[in-house]
Amino acid sequence: MNEEICYLTMTELAKSIRDKTLSPVEVVTAHLDRIDSINPKLNAIVELTEGVLDRAHEAEAALMSGNLWGPLHGVPFTAKDSVDAKGVRTTRGSRLFADHIPTADATAITRLKDAGGIFLGHTNVPEFVFWFETDNLVYGRTNNPWNQNHTSGGSSGGEGAAIASGLSPIGIGSDLACSIRQPATHCGIVGLKPTHGRVPLTGHWPNTLLRFMHIGPMARTVKDIAVALSIMSGPDGIDPYAVPVPVPELENLGGALSGLRVGWCSEGPFAPVAKDVQSVVESAANSLEQLGCKIEPVTLSGWNNPPAQDISIKLFTAELVPYLEPFISGREEELSPVIQKRLQVPEPTAREYQQAWNERERLCHDLASYFSKYDLLLCPTSVTHAPKHGTSELNVDGEVVLPRNSVRATVPFDLTGSPAISIPYGWSNDGLPIGVQLVGRHFDEATLLKAANALENVSQKEGTRRPQI
């Protein structure tokens, strides 16, 4: 019974609690029991909130007295270990912050709590959330629930693994290059990077590169993503990048997609892309066409001169290294090998940094031009399914590339600030999930989620799978 409770969606749990067919205590207890049973194999959840069961009893008492806290009354949720939670150790995956206990919640956590959610705890991340494999010297490595020899992705890899395995129904991730969408595709869940400025970054660390950083929800269904986004959205008066645009109305994700213009690209500037990933993207394009969309293949030929990941390396290195210096000075030996290696990357010259900005502006113009013709872009989320742990080179159907090539299809949309979602849509030959990515116009999450929901409905006709842990 506990497993069945843990695989109910966030919205199903919320409804069951409101209808009193499940109590908040039953729901939280089921998740805590599953964490006890499954988490040792995955190392996805790394810190539990003290008194979480007491909070569930408070939620139950409130419900019995007719006091509904909000739409998520009694529903547990998690957040990656770079999102501040009051009174909960928040290490940022680093020995440098091993004893860090925030005195206030991040805005995203506050809003889910204010909606009635119960914060279960933190999920694992790579050090400083700057890598695409979730492993650190504080908690160790997180395993993929579909195959523990493979990565769950990064940097929200603990979140992806927790949600896929029923340890949490909904979570808060963040994304600078791939960090919501890559774990989503590797773990077989849904992950949304909203438009930059849609969700406040307040309480997320590191407090740098904020022009490209995004906070967004991760869940097992598009509907849960939509509900969470509506709760998390809107300025908080603290984050200067949070834009005062109306909170999207996302209650109705159904309806026809007739006339929606969708360009699709299975490889193009993201090359090399594995054949099984390309096949899944093409299958999604065919489904959208059958759903009434106007589908057209696009090449996006100008996007790889230079590739977006080359632009991001220059921008991120130039800004990250000076920001980190006060924190790491004198403690360099405590850093993980990944961060030590990243700190050795030569900083770009002023001219190279300015050129990277120019290239980023060109990419923004190219994408704006694209969206003058199309409503959505369909493309891969990652160039392969989840690789094995510690992969030092990525083998894409025999072509060997650097591991950072895994972000080729995601980082462009962090640089442009565009909303992008990954949804599970297929499987590799060895049983690992493969997601597809939809990208939309700025602040048009409604169209993005409507199309994602339609694709999800198609994929679920073949039945849903659960990882056998």
Beta bridge pairs of residue 122? 47, 79
Amino acid of residue 109:
I
Q: Choose among 62, 65, 83: nearest CA to 74.
A: 62
For 231: left if phi > 0, alpha if psi spans -120 to 50, otherwise beta; the answer is alpha
Instruction: Give yes or no: 179 in active site.
Output: yes
Q: Which residue out of 23, 152, 155, 382 is catalytically annotated?
A: 155
Cα 246 to Cα 235: distance, rounded to the nearest angstrom: 10
Q: Which residue out of 23, 80, 382, 406 is catalytically annotated?
A: 80
Instruction: Give yes or no: 165 in active site.
Output: no
Q: Calculate the CA 129 to chain-centre distance.
A: 12
Q: Which residue out of 82, 156, 174, 179 is catalytically annotated?
A: 179
Beta bridge pairs of residue 262? 295, 376
Dump the DSSP string for 5-70.
HHTS-HHHHHHHHHTTSS-HHHHHHHHHHHHHHHHHHH--EEEEPTTHHHHHHHHHHHHHTT----
In sequence order, which residues have a C-beta less than 8 Å from that of residue 368 and are 6 or more positions away?
none
Between helix 275-290 and helix 445-460 the angle, nearest 10°, is 100
Q: Choose among 5, 8, 20: nearest CA to 464.
A: 8
Instruction: Give yes or no: 312 in active site.
Output: no
Q: Are 433 and 427 in contact (CB under 8 A)?
A: yes
Beta bridge pairs of residue 78? 121, 171
Q: Are 397 and 387 in contact (CB under 8 A)?
A: no
- Residue given tokens 């990250």 in the structure block: 320
Q: Choose among 121, 205, 193, 192: nearest CA to 158.
A: 121
For 209: left if phi > 0, alpha if psi spans -120 to 50, otherwise beta; the answer is left
Token reading at 252: 């109705």
Q: Which residues are catalytic?
A: 80, 155, 179
